[in-house]
Amino acid sequence: MNFENLFNNDRRTLARTISIVEKGDQESIDILKRIHSKVGKAYRVGITGPPGAGKSTITNQLTKILLEQNKKVGIIAVDPTSPFTGGALLGDRVRMNDIGNNPSVFIRSMATRGSLGGLSKKANDVADVMDSAGYDFILLETVGVGQSELDIAQASDTTIVVLVPESGDAVQAMKAGLMEIANFFVMNKADRPGASRAISALKTILTLRYHDENTYMPKIVSSIASENKGIDE
């Protein structure tokens, strides 16, 4: 393993290193020890929420904004594990085609491999590898099953929970414990009927929960991610 190539952001070395780290064997442990001194500079953003909320679109648009600021962005898209192949589905990467070819972006799909949380157990290790390779921001996009996304908070500096007006997402988020981990709530597809009502419901829930003036109140942002509206907030 040529660590200088990794630290200089050689993409082939980065991909190979991630593949080794995903295995979780002794070699991966040795690599994580070796890169430890290079880890800690990247800002990590977790993006979670129910299926179909538009997480990949928001990841895509957020990445474009960061690229305009000359930042390097690593993306970890955690997909459900296929029961047939055990591999990660590549739907997220298909949706990110317009940024995937940018040399300042590195996208990695990972399977949850049966771990209880949406984040693969190895996703944080992969984020460390990207961090050591010099990426300024690492976006961790999770499965979005709702009930078990709490591990995203431990892996991220900022956590974004993406919701849509329908399906009572605000109430579901409260049940799933997402209220506790969110720094931002993004009400995506805000042009749909019921969006203002859903935002009001979310504000009510947050106000009841965060009644102490010393407690951080998550921010609520309205967005139409497919039209890049509200993303820069």
What is the total residue count of the chain?
Answer: 233
What gap in Å lies between CA 132 and CA 69, rounded to an integer? Answer: 20
Structure-token pair, residue 147: 């009930």
pLDDT given at position 14: 97
Structure-token pair, residue 56: 């990949």
What gap in Å lies between CA 59 and CA 73, rounded to an integer? Answer: 10
- Residue 35, in any domain of the structure: no
- Residue 153, in any domain of the structure: yes
- Give the residue with greater pLDDT, 97 vs 201: 201
What gap in Å lies between CA 58 and CA 225, rounded to an integer? Answer: 6
- Residue 29, in any domain of the structure: no
- Residue 77, in any domain of the structure: yes
What gap in Å lies between CA 63 and CA 102, rounded to an integer? Answer: 10
- Residue 157, in any domain of the structure: yes
- Residue 152, in any domain of the structure: yes
How do residues 109-154 score in pLDDT, each as one tens digit?
887 666 555 466 788 899 999 999 999 999 998 866 544 466 767 7
Of 12-21, 129-138, 185-194, minimum mean pLDDT range: 185-194
For residue 82, count other CB atoms closer than 10 A to its CB. 11
- Residue 184, in any domain of the structure: yes
pLDDT given at position 88: 44
How do residues 85-114 score in pLDDT, each as one tens digit?
444 444 544 556 678 788 999 999 887 666
**How many domains would you assign to the chain?**
1
The single residue listed with the structure tokens 């993406």 is 162
Distance in Å from the first CA to the final CA of the chain: 41
Burial class (CB in 10 A: 0-12, 13-18, 19+), 204: exposed
Q: For the domain that residue 135 is a member of, what is the CATH number?
A: 3.40.50.300
Is residue 174 pLDDT above 70, yes or no?
Answer: no
Mean pLDDT of the chain: 79
Domain that holds residue 91: 40-227
Burial class (CB in 10 A: 0-12, 13-18, 19+), 77: buried
What gap in Å lies between CA 182 and CA 166, rounded to an integer? Answer: 19
- Residue 105, in any domain of the structure: yes
Q: Is the CB of residue 172 less than 8 Å from the CB of residue 201? A: no
